[in-house]
Amino acid sequence: MKKTRVVGRPYAKVDAAAKVTGQTRFADDVVLPRMLHCKLLRSRLAHARIVRIDASKARALPGVAAVATGAELPIPFGILPVSQDEHVLAVDRVRFVGDPVAAVAAVDEDTAAEALAAIDVEYEPLPPVGTMEEGLAPAEPPIHDSGDAGNIHKLVAMEFGDTAEGFARADRVYEDLFFYEGSTHLPLEQHAAVADFGPDGKLTVWSSTQTPHYVHRALAKVLEMAPPKIRVIATPNGGGFGGKSDPFAHEIVVAHLSRATGRPVKICLTREEVFYCHRGRHPTLMKVRTGVKRDGAVTAMHFQTLLDGGGYGSYGVASTYYTGALQTVTYKIPAYRFDGARVFTNKPPCGPKRGHGTPQPRFALEAQLDKIACDLSLDPAEMRKAQLQPADSLTANFLRIGSMGLGACIDKVVAASGWKKRRGRLPGGRGLGLACSSYLCGAGLPIYWNAMPQSGVQLKLDRGGGVTVFCGSTDIGQGSDTILAAIVAEVLGIDPFDIRVVTGDTDLTPVDLGSYSSRVTLMTGNAAIQAAERAREMLVAAAAAKLGIPEERVGLAAGRVFDVAEPGKGMAFPEAVVLAESRFGTLGTVGSYAPPPSAGRYRGAGVGPSPAYSYSAAVVEVEVDPDTGIFTVPKVWIAHDVGKCINPVLVMGQVEGSVYMGLGEAMMEEMAYRTDANRNVVHKFPSLLEYKSPTTKEMPEVETFLVEDPDRNGPFGAKEVGQGPLLPIPPAVANAVYDAVGVRIDEIPVTPEKIHRALQAKAKAPDRPARYGPAKFPAVPYPEPIHVPTPAEGGDGRAADAALTGAGGVR
């Protein structure tokens, strides 16, 4: 890889000074003259028909400017084109406790809240569906009419290669059940939005969203407005983690109320409401059947998943595919079958949380591999290393692997943790567990089908030497603005802090699809390189003419444009800009990025392909009290193959933050529900106090290794780091508990109660494998799978049965 000057340096973030002085303007900090405040009336029933809404009393209250109900906004929306199943305000049905029913705009929040209490809603209760098992049963009426069968939202089945043959030649076949509980993103910033419908008929919406482009589309659709009349500004997000990547009812309702009143309208959700917005991790039940040879080589795998989707579609169709997509990118799996199902239930909708649909199967896969290794008396680290999917290869399900640094990652954590000497030998309830993972660097296909770039960058150079980068990406704290500045600074040889970065504004910036699927560094980075290279060409041409040297001798670095053969000879950067503008006219360039086409051409092949895959390996140490099951995590070793660090200190932050969030899921976080006296499915504890997340006291010491295995598709070789390092943590915790006390916890979170129960079972029947986890997998009506011959079988990426072949993605 080419050596760099700016890229690779641990600069502070370009917005760090604003963040540490409290000057970053988040959505709730936006205050406009004449601004009204909005509050939402939310359903207190989990499932009901709306018989009647009477808002006349609320409308009559002093200080109330407008009250909106569902009839005013009949057009449905949703993030996926295939799941347009949400209404801004319930039209005739509520589907979970927290579903928005009516909205008030008033002079202040207190008045708006008072008005909510004056809205009279008559409901006809319907039987709520509380669990995914209930969701499999026939239902009348179903929660939605759009599912594949009753309350089953989506059914998927595909087979790559001949799994029957693979199982037949296996020395052993293992079958295990796992469950991964739902959890939520819990960004510290509650969602907020401000809408201003101006007298010119144009609408501006400021929102804490990760996906301003999709919010733009949803606003245009529901409000029936021409897209050019709408401007969405994504304010810096106070944390996202996937929880702000759907278009939300509250964003649309404030726009509607602003249009109705002619005044700006703001909403800031309460913490309780943020729990209702959710779109977090799907609770997932899994059955994994894996055939192996005695050396641990996998001969076939059959992976079945059942996802609890909650009340709406959200990203759920994609989530369902994701529970089966990435099993193949870490270890060689010659034949692979996947059956997936998502059911609707009357709970807050699930969607994408950091790792989107892949932490659940990754937990199951890595926990099962640990069992297999122990059963075959193999070192779990060595067994994995012997089976690595090679770099520059195609998996059985036609995912194209580029760089693959997992072997190096395993070596780092094995050496640093003292794995070889310490595993199985630690005294007193202590143990080590290892797990690995991989994640996408951006989804290969956009959410709605189109042939346009997924990321665009514009660059403006002004005659004072100023450089401004415009890009639709949204900084959610991951540092995407800083990455843009570093990349442009590298190409143009200037200081990243001298660059102005304008992002996430649909009026000013070219489209970037948003901060999700770990796509931003790779896609905006490549677009930024292209835009900057084009600007560089003009600067070089102008400077070469002035210096009287050939263009290839012009260098740009440290704020100068100079003769590389004689660096003293040259000019300051602004002077080169003036020369270039004199020669070429006003200076502006563009760059864009679209991922390479995916190799798979079967129905469902749209989920899983990515320009590159990151890899992680982790060793977790636990200390378990065998009497109570209470355990702590004193230390985590993690290595992450990021391709190339654009900024190592930011990469470190993403790795540590991922470890933290993975530990939260592994140890304590649960979106848990209770059923109240009216059979309503109610969130048990929608508060930051009772929804347990790790504090400073639970966070262990983390030893991090950044592995750089550059990928040809990454900017300067860079791959993702925002999500991948979360994935190995939950299985590594479960595997460490087994090493510590000899019981298998086949469920996330791993809690003291579960360990205690498993230990009790072990004491009663010492010769049986002690575990805590799901006992059965319900009968799911998975369809007959499509059959796709693998690359090794000479497959071309299409399904064998032409009648079942779709032309690409999940639409």
Partner 1 sequence: MTRRMKKSEAPYGKRLVRMVVNGRPVEAAFEPHKTLLEVLREDLALTGTKHGCELGECGTCAVLVDGRPVLSCLALGLECDGRRVETVEGMAGGSGLHPLQKAFAELGAAQCGYCTPGFLLTARALLEERPRPSRDEIREALAGNLCRCTGYVKIFEAVELAAAWMRGEDAAPRRESIYGMDFDESGLLPLHPSPPGGGRGRGEGGA
Asked if 88 and 253 count as a contact pair (C-beta separation under 8 A), the reply is: yes
State which of residues 158, 406, 476, 741 lies at the interface with partner 1 (CB under 8 A): 476
State which of residues 96, 241, 315, 321 lies at the interface with partner 1 (CB under 8 A): 241
Sequence-distant (6+) residues with CB within 8 A of 654 are 478, 721, 722, 725
Least separation in angstroms between residue 575's CB and partner 1 is: 12
Least separation in angstroms between residue 768's CB and partner 1 is: 38
What single-letter DSSP state applies at residue 750? -
Look up residue 189 and give its two tokens.
Answer: 């910033």
Residue 33 as a binder of partner 1 (CB under 8 A): the answer is no
Nearest residue (CB) to partner 1, 108 versus 796: 108
Nearest residue (CB) to partner 1, 657 versus 749: 657
Could you give the angle at the alpha carbon of 614 between the alpha carbons of 612 and 618, nearest 5°?
Answer: 165
512: helix, coil or strand?
Answer: strand
Nearest residue (CB) to partner 1, 357 versus 479: 479
Sequence-distant (6+) residues with CB within 8 A of 309 are 153, 282, 316, 319, 342, 343, 344, 345, 349, 350
Q: What is the DSSP string of 109-122?
A: HHHHHHHHHT-EEE
In this structure, the strands spanning 284-292 and 393-394 are: unpaired
Least separation in angstroms between residue 159's CB and partner 1 is: 39
Nearest residue (CB) to partner 1, 377 versus 695: 695
Q: What are phi and psi of 513, to 5 degrees?
A: -70, -20
Asked if 711 and 424 count as a contact pair (C-beta separation under 8 A), the reply is: no
Asked if 350 and 281 count as a contact pair (C-beta separation under 8 A), the reply is: yes
Using CB under 8 A as the binding rule, the residues of this chain from 488 to 507 that contact partner 1 are 493, 495, 497
Stretch that binds partner 1, among 64-72, 399-407, 700-708, 781-789 (CB under 8 A): 700-708
Strands ordered across the beta sheet of 613-624: 430-440, 613-624, 631-641, 701-707
Distance CA 654, CA 521 (A): 13
Nearest residue (CB) to partner 1, 233 versus 298: 233
State which of residues 77, 363, 660, 772 lies at the interface with partner 1 (CB under 8 A): 660
Nearest residue (CB) to partner 1, 20 versus 807: 20
State which of residues 125, 418, 429, 555 lies at the interface with partner 1 (CB under 8 A): 555
Asked if 179 and 773 count as a contact pair (C-beta separation under 8 A), the reply is: yes
Nearest residue (CB) to partner 1, 24 versus 131: 24
Least separation in angstroms between residue 370's CB and partner 1 is: 24
Using CB under 8 A as the binding rule, the residues of this chain from 315 to 354 that contact partner 1 are none
Nearest residue (CB) to partner 1, 344 versus 516: 516
Distance CA 740, CA 738 (A): 5
Using CB under 8 A as the binding rule, the residues of this chain from 571 to 590 that contact partner 1 are 572-573
Q: What is the dihedral of CA 586, 531, 354, 415, to 10 degrees?
A: -140
Binding-site string for partner 1 from residue 409 to residue 428, where x marks contact by CB under 8 A and - marks none:
---x---x------------
Asked if 327 and 361 count as a contact pair (C-beta separation under 8 A), the reply is: yes
Asked if 532 and 591 count as a contact pair (C-beta separation under 8 A), the reply is: yes
What single-letter DSSP state applies at residue 266? E
Nearest residue (CB) to partner 1, 21 versus 586: 21
In this structure, the strands spanning 673-675 and 36-42 are: unpaired
746: helix, coil or strand?
Answer: coil
Rounded to whole angstroms, what are the CA distances from 219 to 230, 391, 794? 8, 43, 46
Least separation in angstroms between residue 586's CB and partner 1 is: 25
Stretch that binds partner 1, among 298-306, 369-377, 525-533, 561-569 (CB under 8 A): 561-569
State which of residues 338, 602, 705, 738 lies at the interface with partner 1 (CB under 8 A): 705
State which of residues 262, 428, 567, 781 lies at the interface with partner 1 (CB under 8 A): 567
Least separation in angstroms between residue 644's CB and partner 1 is: 7
Asked if 344 and 135 count as a contact pair (C-beta separation under 8 A), the reply is: yes
Look up residue 469 and give its two tokens.
Answer: 């980068």
Tally the C-alpha atoms within 13 A of residue 315's C-alpha that lie toward its C-beta: 31
Stretch that binds partner 1, among 89-97, 308-316, 319-327, 658-666 (CB under 8 A): 658-666
Binding-site string for partner 1 from residue 636 to residue 655, where x marks contact by CB under 8 A and - marks none:
--------x---xxx-xx-x
Residue 4 as a binder of partner 1 (CB under 8 A): the answer is yes
Number of residues that bind partner 1 (CB under 8 A): 99
Using CB under 8 A as the binding rule, the residues of this chain from 611 to 640 that contact partner 1 are none
State which of residues 70, 348, 349, 479 lies at the interface with partner 1 (CB under 8 A): 479
Using CB under 8 A as the binding rule, the residues of this chain from 82 to 141 that contact partner 1 are 108-111, 113-114
Least separation in angstroms between residue 549's CB and partner 1 is: 15
Least separation in angstroms between residue 656's CB and partner 1 is: 4
Tally the C-alpha atoms within 13 A of residue 530's C-alpha that lie toward its C-beta: 18
Residue 264 as a binder of partner 1 (CB under 8 A): the answer is no
Least separation in angstroms between residue 190's CB and partner 1 is: 7
Binding-site string for partner 1 from residue 269 to residue 308, where x marks contact by CB under 8 A and - marks none:
-xxxx-----------------------------------
Stretch that binds partner 1, among 239-247, 365-373, 616-624, 625-633 (CB under 8 A): 239-247
State which of residues 313, 316, 407, 477 lies at the interface with partner 1 (CB under 8 A): 477
Q: What is the DSSP string of 156-204?
A: EEEEES-HHHHHHT-SEEEEEEEEE-------SSPPEEEEEE-TTS-EE
Nearest residue (CB) to partner 1, 108 versus 551: 108
Using alpha carbons, select from 562, 531, 537, 539 the residue that is nearest to residue 549.
Answer: 562
State which of residues 143, 286, 702, 727 lies at the interface with partner 1 (CB under 8 A): 702
* Partner residues linked to 231 by β-bridges: 204
